[in-house]
Amino acid sequence: MVRSLILLGLVGFAAQLVDGALGMAYGVTSTTLLLAIGTNAAAASATVHLAEIGTTLASGVSHWRFGNIDWKVVARIGVPGAAGAFAGATFLSSLSTEVAAPIMSIILLALGLYVLIRFTTFGLPRGNLGKPLRRRFLAPLGLVAGFIDATGGGGWGPVGTPAILASGRLAPRKVIGSIDASEFLIAIAASVGFFFGIGSENIDFAWVGVLLLGGVIAAPIAAWLVRHIPPRILGSAVGGVIILTNVRTLLRSDLIDAPGGVQAAAYIGIAAVWAAAIAYSWREYHRDKDTESVEAVEAELGRRAAGDATTA
């Protein structure tokens, strides 16, 4: 029991470290693990969302201290997101465990694929910085992301962060900080929905506590790291973990019940694609970094030449 709690605490720490640096994956990663060890779908999502009330508060405060938050974005996406999360929690609570578990794994698998492909292939878009993000874009996005987050045990970040990043209108660190801060509202709304739907008897509050503790410790570290860690590489790594774990859950479920040989072949194939994705992201990250360095040197030489011409 003690060993399990320590492992859960480490998972909470690692998940929040990734979430705070990437703007996604705390819920997806933590819920994936809870499902893998046999927790029923609604209880797993409820456990994670209760822990997230504390971790998202700590993360939001940390991002605020480092200047990573746009409060207009938080308000415009967070309120409709909370409504979607409450609806998603009550919907998931009404499903039987046999139905809910594969549905959640399919949602998590789709989110994992999205994260892997999005960050491996495209990296982080940086065009259109400074243009306003409108309510008619943020409100529907928040509603959908909140619903998926509650039904999938995670998804607020994987849906919201890439969508806002893709707009290119907000600096990546501001996107991540704003999504993390607004998730506090989603965690509260989803938790209330689960209490209405399943009560508290299926929730292990010791698990909630250790997930929360690990996340709170990691939050300020992640808010600092967001300025330094390469999100492209991290996105590829996290996406692969989510895909591999949820494919394992689906292949072993009553829905598929694949033979051992099929399972082994699937794991080997996924691992090969995952390794290739990380290698590609690493190469592209350093290529972009080298290009930026060359452009910076050329720009500096241009400024010096212009200054010399003016002096002459």
pLDDT tens string 132-156: 677 788 888 888 888 877 776 667 7
pLDDT of amino acid 54: 79
Q: Which amino acid is at 269?
A: G
Asked if 35 and 102 count as a contact pair (C-beta separation under 8 A), the reply is no
Half-sphere exposure of residue 234: CA atoms within 13 angstroms, side-chain side: 20
At 16, the pLDDT band (50, 70, 90 cuts) reads confident
Rounded Cα–Cα distance for residues 252 and 228 (Å): 39
Q: How many domains does the chain have?
A: 1
Please give the residue range of the domain that contains residue 212. 2-311
Alpha carbon 154 to chain centroid distance?
Answer: 7
Which of the residue ranges 78-82, 103-107, 268-272 would you say has the lowest mean pLDDT?
103-107
The encoded tokens of residue 104 equal 């959640």
Confidence check: pLDDT of 306 > 80:
no
Half-sphere exposure of residue 171: CA atoms within 13 angstroms, side-chain side: 9
Rounded Cα–Cα distance for residues 285 and 42 (Å): 38
pTM of the predicted protein model: 0.62
Q: How many CB atoms lie within 10 A of CB 209?
A: 17
Closest listed residue to residue 116, CA positions, set 276, 226, 286? 276
Burial class (CB in 10 A: 0-12, 13-18, 19+), 38: exposed
Closest listed residue to residue 277, CA positions, set 123, 120, 111? 120
Which of the residue ranges 66-70, 125-129, 187-191, 265-269 would you say has the lowest mean pLDDT?
125-129
Tell me the mean pLDDT in the region 211-234. Answer: 71
Confidence check: pLDDT of 237 > 60:
yes
H or E segment to which residue 196 belongs: helix 172-198
